[in-house]
């Protein structure tokens, strides 16, 4: 997607232009197109319980086409919604690609979702089909949410609760012709993470993959490169796993590792990367912090080339510690469900400022806007906004025209995130507009404080909010999960507060510290700060 051999970011921008084809289908682009050139190349490498199973691009293309045919035979067609709740696996990839080939709309559901979350999304999307693993089907049955579905197919081991996905695939015709979708035809509905309010169905077109490619290529130091293997611990049900990892890698013919554990474990992640010779990873900041907090270190046998990270602010200190641990570039980038991967660092291009989200990716116009809608001055805090139209931007919120209109103003898509741009054109994240803390006249973003707290040797993770205060308007309050073995007493609170005060500033240190057993996260790994505001 990006021009070859760029000399600089300016050179890259000067030579880049969007060139969207008249027809484009994510399903064929990520399987058939590669299979025509490299049918035997590994596409999905399943790594389950220490054993590896490989599916080639040829097999991936054939089985996803057969599933599309089988779904069509069941009356599922263009524009219908197909909910997919399958852990990282060949089955998950096939379900997605088949849905796109059919011209239907994929509705990914995270495997952590409980009964109510599943029921809400099935109902809100109006799904006609549900492809899921056994536990997902069992959870959905608890609420009666499956009653309005026309088709239920179970991936993996069959528990007699639904028809087997493998058996359904076998009924399909291998010569089924995928639908000729345009770049603007709907392809997927990603529900927002829900840090505030009820999650909304974010509808994206097939062009969303093309819109992602420049940013992901930059964050991965210009993939594809020979011998590449991609992995992310993120569920393929959200934008980070699906559009920052799985689909861009398959589009470029890069094998993708499918590995899963009941919960993220640093040693397990390192083992996956080592034994599968992973070269490129997408690691959300939460995963990186957990790995840095573990007692171990990165094994020398890793094949890792670069780490891409996004989803929440990484922070300068975490960035440096990650580079020290892994010995490879760490490229932070930025986006959200509605409009992703439009800011990025790229060490290979000399664009890499720790603590920043990077610079605008070629093809995207990004600015900091003041409350009156004008562009902010250098260093001035405001709302991060992206010029519309843009291929990576969503089509709209499902069945919510008012919310869609509210997302735009005067030709800009408003992210709802607060940020600033420095003298060199790097963008810096401050926080969600509703998360920014106002204290004694200062506007304080919680992310930088959380990053500093996570650097303390006794802290595993932290969440920071503003607590109402009659004198300062708000004070900084921190909720801290200590590492195993650390004692949560008054002395520890004083030491942690002094640590932040010394490393950041006197107005940013937490005046209240509360020790907690856990920090709640969204399915995409973001801290749910409203949990502590409501508590």
DSSP states along 470-500: TTTEEEEEEEEEEPTT---SHHHHHHHHHHH
Q: Contact at 8 Å (CB) between 514 and 479?
A: yes
- Let me know if 444 is exposed, middle or buried by CB neighbors in 10 A (0-12, 13-18, 19+): buried
Tokens of 443: 């506007």
> CB count, 10 Å around CB of 401?
9
Query: Is pLDDT above 60 for 397?
Result: yes
**pLDDT the model gives residue 487:** 92
What's the CATH code of the domain at 488?
Answer: 3.30.300.30
Pick the more confident residue, 458 or 263. 458
Whole-angstrom distance, CA of residue 198 vs CA of residue 438: 26
Cis geometry, peptide bond prior to residue 224 (ω within 30 degrees of 0):
yes
Q: Contact at 8 Å (CB) between 195 and 32?
A: no
Band (pLDDT 50/70/90 cuts) for residue 261 is: confident
**pLDDT the model gives residue 162:** 64
**pLDDT the model gives residue 202:** 96
> CB count, 10 Å around CB of 75?
11
DSSP letter at 173 equals -
Q: Contact at 8 Å (CB) between 358 and 366?
A: no
High-pLDDT (> 90) share of the chain, %? 75
> CB count, 10 Å around CB of 295?
8
pLDDT average, residue stretch 351-373: 97
In a domain, 380, yes or no: no
User: Both 240 and 351 in a single domain?
Assistant: yes
Tokens of 105: 């709309």
- Let me know if 48 is exposed, middle or buried by CB neighbors in 10 A (0-12, 13-18, 19+): middle
Of 150-164, 232-246, 341-355, 514-528, least confident by mean pLDDT is 150-164
* Placement of tokens 């509703």 in the chain: 434
pLDDT average, residue stretch 137-145: 91
pLDDT average, residue stretch 475-482: 95
In a domain, 83, yes or no: yes
Map residue 178 onto helix, strand or coil. Answer: coil
User: Both 27 and 148 in a single domain?
Assistant: yes
Pick the more confident residue, 86 or 525. 86
Band (pLDDT 50/70/90 cuts) for residue 196 is: very low
User: Both 67 and 211 in a single domain?
Assistant: no
**Among 350, 361, 405, which Cα is nearest to 386's?**
361
**pLDDT the model gives residue 530:** 85
pLDDT, tens only, 291-349: 888 856 677 889 999 999 998 888 898 899 999 999 999 999 999 999 999 999 999 99
User: Both 165 and 236 in a single domain?
Assistant: no
User: Both 349 and 462 in a single domain?
Assistant: no
User: Both 280 and 172 in a single domain?
Assistant: no
User: Both 99 and 230 in a single domain?
Assistant: no
Residue span of the structural domain in which 394 resides: 206-363+389-409
Helices (H), 205-358: 207-219, 239-241, 247-251, 266-275, 285-293, 316-326
In a domain, 478, yes or no: yes
User: Both 351 and 464 in a single domain?
Assistant: no
Distance of CA 466 to the CA centre of its chain: 26
Query: Is pLDDT above 50 for 286?
Result: yes
Tokens of 244: 């920052």
In a domain, 15, yes or no: no
* Placement of tokens 């239907």 in the chain: 104
In a domain, 280, yes or no: yes
Please say which residue of 183, 216, 234 terminates a domain.
183
User: Both 109 and 34 in a single domain?
Assistant: yes
CA distances from 317 to 205, 270, 448 (A): 37, 21, 9
pLDDT average, residue stretch 30-58: 96
**pLDDT the model gives residue 381:** 94
pLDDT, tens only, 172-195: 999 999 999 999 999 999 988 544
Distance of CA 385 to the CA centre of its chain: 19
Band (pLDDT 50/70/90 cuts) for residue 442 is: low
Number of domains in the chain: 3
In a domain, 12, yes or no: no
What's the CATH code of the domain at 309?
Answer: 3.40.50.12780
User: Both 111 and 29 in a single domain?
Assistant: yes
CA distances from 497 to 435, 506, 513 (A): 20, 10, 8
Tokens of 364: 């995207």
Query: Is pLDDT above 90 for 497?
Result: yes
Query: Is pLDDT above 90 for 526?
Result: no
User: Average pLDDT, whole number, for the chain?
Assistant: 92
**Among 345, 301, 312, which Cα is nearest to 463's?**
312
Query: Is pLDDT above 70 for 523?
Result: no
Tokens of 378: 């250098």
Q: Contact at 8 Å (CB) between 63 and 91?
A: no
Give the phi and the psi of residue 496 in degrees, each rounded to 5.
-65, -45
Query: Is pLDDT above 70 for 63?
Result: yes
High-pLDDT (> 70) share of the chain, %? 96
Tokens of 404: 């869609």
Q: Contact at 8 Å (CB) between 439 and 473?
A: yes
DSSP letter at 204 equals E
In a domain, 189, yes or no: no
Whole-angstrom distance, CA of residue 335 vs CA of residue 212: 10
User: Both 104 and 169 in a single domain?
Assistant: yes
Query: Is pLDDT above 90 for 287?
Result: no
Band (pLDDT 50/70/90 cuts) for residue 157 is: low
User: Both 157 and 220 in a single domain?
Assistant: no
> CB count, 10 Å around CB of 197?
9
Whole-angstrom distance, CA of residue 45 vs CA of residue 51: 10
In a domain, 332, yes or no: yes
């Amino acid at each position: 997607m990006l021009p070859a051999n760029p000399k600089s970011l300016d050179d890259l921008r000067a030579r880049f232009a969007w060139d969207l084809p008249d027809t484009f289908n994510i399903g064929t682009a990520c399987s058939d197109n590669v299979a025509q050139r490299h049918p035997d190349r590994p596409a999905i490498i399943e790594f389950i319980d220490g054993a590896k199973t490989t599916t080639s691009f040829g097999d991936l293309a054939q089985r996803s086409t057969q599933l599309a045919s089988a779904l069509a035979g069941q009356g599922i067609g263009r524009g219908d919604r197909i909910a997919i709740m399958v852990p990282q696996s060949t089955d998950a990839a096939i379900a997605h690609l088949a849905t796109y080939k059919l011209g239907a709309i994929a509705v990914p559901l995270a495997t952590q979702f409980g009964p109510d979350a599943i029921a809400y999304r099935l109902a809100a999307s109006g799904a006609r089909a549900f492809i899921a693993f056994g536990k997902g089907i069992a959870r959905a049955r608890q609420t009666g949410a499956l009653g309005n579905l026309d088709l239920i197919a179970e991936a993996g081991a069959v528990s007699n609760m639904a028809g087997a996905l493998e058996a359904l695939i076998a009924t399909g015709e291998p010569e089924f012709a995928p639908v000729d979708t345009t770049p603007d035809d709907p392809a997927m509905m990603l529900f927002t993470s829900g840090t505030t309010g009820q999650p909304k169905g974010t509808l994206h077109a097939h062009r969303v993959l093309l819109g992602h490619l420049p940013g992901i290529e930059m964050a991965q130091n210009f993939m594809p490169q020979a011998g590449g293997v991609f992995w992310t611990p993120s569920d393929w049900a959200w934008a980070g796993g699906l559009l920052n990892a799985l689909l861009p890698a398959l589009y470029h013919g890069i094998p993708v590792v499918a590995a899963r554990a009941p919960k993220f474990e640093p040693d397990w992640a390192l083992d996956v990367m080592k034994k599968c010779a992973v070269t490129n990873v997408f690691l959300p900041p939460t995963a990186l912090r957990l790995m840095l907090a573990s007692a171990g270190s990165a094994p020398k046998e890793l094949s890792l080339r670069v780490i891409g990270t996004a989803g929440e602010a990484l922070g300068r200190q975490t960035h440096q510690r990650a580079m020290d641990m892994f010995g490879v570039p760490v490229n932070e980038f930025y986006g959200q469900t509605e409009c992703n991967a439009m800011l990025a660092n790229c060490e290979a291009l000399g664009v890499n400022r720790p603590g920043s989200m990077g610079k605008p990716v070629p093809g995207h116009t990004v600015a900091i806007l003041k409350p009156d809608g004008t562009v902010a001055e250098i260093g001035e805090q405001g709302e991060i906004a992206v010029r519309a139209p843009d291929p990576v931007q969503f089509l709209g919120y499902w069945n919510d025209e008012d919310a869609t209109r509210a997302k735009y103003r005067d030709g800009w898509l408003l992210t709802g995130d607060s940020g600033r741009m420095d003298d060199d054109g790097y963008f810096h994240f401050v926080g969600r507009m509703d998360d920014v803390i106002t204290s004694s006249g200062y506007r304080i973003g919680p992310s930088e404080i959380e990053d500093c707290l996570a650097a303390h040797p006794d802290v595993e993770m932290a969440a920071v909010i503003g607590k109402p205060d009659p004198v300062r308007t708000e004070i900084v309050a921190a909720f801290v999960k200590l590492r195993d073995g650390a004692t949560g007493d008054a002395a520890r609170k004083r030491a942690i507060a002094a640590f932040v005060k010394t490393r950041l500033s006197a107005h940013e240190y937490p005046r209240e510290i509360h020790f907690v057993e856990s920090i709640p996260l969204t399915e995409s790994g973001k801290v749910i700060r409203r949990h502590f505001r409501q508590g």
